[in-house]
């Protein structure tokens, strides 16, 4: 099964400002588009490959968002770790 979620984005929080660090475009593959009913009390589980680095020393807040039927769904914030050079590179790309 294809694992593309339309309009998925992830963010890091630096100095109380959220910065978008990745945007997932719509899939070009037909396997990404199918209808699936969710029964009562059912749930979907999404596993996200984040930029978290277990041994990183820079702690930042992280969240994801995606669109579902035109509505923006936003995750809870979590704290992730980045390497100093990784954070520096991201900040250079964001400015």
Q: What is the pLDDT of residues 10-59, one digit of tens each?
A: 899 988 999 988 777 666 666 666 667 778 888 877 766 667 788 889 99
- E strand spans, the chain: 8-14, 17-24, 58-68, 71-74, 78-82
Q: Domain count of the chain?
A: 1
Position 39 in a domain:
no
Do 52 and 22 touch, CB atoms closer than 8 A? no
Short-list 83, 10, 87, 85, CA closest to 53: 83
Position 15 in a domain:
yes
- SS3 state at 78: strand
Tokens of 6: 């339309």
* pTM of the model as a whole: 0.72
Q: What is the pLDDT averaged over residues 58-78? A: 88
Position 36 in a domain:
no
């Amino acid at each position: 099964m294809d694992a593309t979620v339309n309009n998925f984005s992830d963010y890091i929080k630096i100095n109380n400002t959220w910065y978008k660090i990745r945007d997932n475009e719509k899939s070009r593959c037909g396997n990404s588009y199918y209808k699936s009913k969710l029964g009562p009390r059912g749930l979907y589980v999404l596993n996200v490959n984040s930029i978290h680095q277990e041994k990183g020393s820079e702690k930042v807040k992280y969240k994801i968002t995606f669109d579902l039927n035109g509505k923006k769904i936003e995750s809870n914030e979590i704290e992730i770790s980045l390497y100093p050079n990784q954070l520096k590179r991201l900040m250079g790309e964001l400015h």
